[in-house]
Amino acid sequence: MSLHDSIVAMTPISGTLRAEGRRPTTREVQAFLADQKEADELLMVLDEELKMMASLCPEGAAVIGPRIRRMSNVVHTEFEISGRTSANIGRVLRSTLLAPTVVGSPLESATRVIHKREPSPRGYYSGVVALVEPDGGGGQSLDSAILIRTAEISRYGDVSISAGSTIVRHSDPDSEAQETRAKTAGLRQVFEAEASLDASIGQAMTVRRAVVSDFWLKSTTERALNRHRFSGRTCLIVTAEDDFTHMLAVLLRSLGFYVDEQPALDVDELPADRDLILFGPGPGNPENKTDQRIVSLHRLIRSALLQRRPFLAECLSHQILALELGLPIARLAQPHQGEQIELPLWNRQATLGFYNTYTARSLTPFVHSSPARHVRAILHPDSEDVAVLSGTAFASTQFHIESVLTHNNDWLLAELIEGVLSRSETRTTKKVDRGTSVPIS
C-alpha cells in the first residue's frame, strides 16, 4: 500500500498457481485463469480492500486490472486500486490493517475467531513494513508491504517462516497445503522474474475483468455524473460490523446523497431528519438474541416498520427484516461465499454478488404480514430463497448491492431507492382541493 500526494493505492493479490521454480506453460496459466475457485479468491479480496479504501476515500477507489504477477515459485493474479484521500499516514495504516487475505472477513468477526482457534500468537506475520519519507511538499509519503512469507531469525539462529493460503468454498485441503509449501519455497530464491504474456493469456485476463462491476472500474469523475438524481437527500447507514457499508456510502454519494454512518449499538432512536435509513450487512445468525448487535437491529428495523420510515436493508439486515415480517430463516447447506448469481429483476437479468450463510424463505412471492401488510418477494428460480423484499416504505436485498460481483450497482441502488421513496410518499399523502397535500396520520 502507498500514499503519495494524497493518492492512496493498494494491490489486492490472490489466486495462486504453483510454479515451483520454473516458468509455467501457457496452458497451465490459462487453466489457472479459468479456475473458478481462484477467480473467487481474487474478487473477494478486491471487495474487502475496496471496503478499506471506501473508509479512506469519500469518492471510493478506481479499479485497474486484473493482471498477473510472477514470483519465483508461484504466480498470482492482482488488481490495482487507488483513490484520493485527506487521511494522514497513521489513519491510512490503521484503516488498512489487517489484510483480509491473512485474517478473513469481516475483520472484527475474523479476529475473534483467530483469537479463539489459534493456539499461539502470530508474531510479525501479517504485520507491516513501511518506508515513510518527506514528499517535498511539506507532507509525507508512504510505501508499505505486508509481512508474509517472511523469515524470522532468533538470536540463536532459529528460523521460522510464516505463510498461508486463502480458504473459500471451493478450497481443497491438499491443494491449499501444497500452495502454502510453494509460497515458503520462494524465500530460497533471490529475485522474482516478470512473465511475458502469451496473447491468449491476455484474452483470459479480459474474461476475468468482465465479471467485475463497471462502477468500480470508472473514475471518480465518471461516477459523479449521477449526483443530480438524489441531490440534497440524506441517508443514515446503520452499520453491523461489516465495512461493506463504506462501499455503500460511496455508491450513495455518487447518487447525490449526504451520508453518515453509525453502529447499530449506538442508535437509540431513528433520527427524524433523514430521508432514508439503510440497515447494513454484517456477520452472524439473525436469530441470535444473545448478540446485542442483532438485538439492536431487530429493534430498529421493527421501529422503522411501525413508523413507516423509508428504509433499505441488506444481507444480515434483510434476514432480520424477514424475521420481523414473519418469514422463516434457514442455514444454507452450502454458503454463498463471494458467489455471482444471475436473477431476473424488474424485467431484466441482473448479475448479483452474494455473501451469506443464512437465507429467508417464502413459499410465494406475496407475503402477508401484520407490520407491513402486503409485501412482495423476489425468489431465486426453482427455490424458496428470498433475494429481494419490497413493501410500502422499504426494500431489502440478500445480495450485496455494492460488491464488485454485482453489475450496474448504481442503477440497482437508484431503482431500489426511487421505488421506496415514491411508494412512501404516495402512501403518506393524499390529494385534497386540487393538489394540496396533507399528511395521513
Catalytic residues: 315, 400, 402
| Cell (9 digits) for 56 | 479512506
CB 151 within 8 A of CB 37: no
- Helix or strand holding residue 102 (H, E): helix 100-103
- CA-nearest of 44, 57, 50 to 15 is 44
Measured from the Cβ of residue 52, the count of other Cβ atoms closer than 10 Å reads 25
C-alpha cell at 216: 468500480
Q: Is 430 exposed, middle or buried (0-12, 13-18, 19+ CB in 10 A)?
A: exposed
Please give the Cα distance from 411 to 225 (Å, whole number).
Answer: 12
Q: Which amino acid is it at 219?
A: S
Contact present, 78 and 33 (Cβ < 8 Å)? no
C-alpha span between 104 and 164 (Å, rounded):
12
Angle at 379 between CA 374 and CA 382, to 5 degrees: 135
d(CA 55, CA 237): 13
**What's the CA gap between 403 and 398, in Å, rounded?**
12
Dist. CA 164–CA 179, nearest whole Å:
8
Q: Are 101 and 76 in contact (CB under 8 A)?
A: no
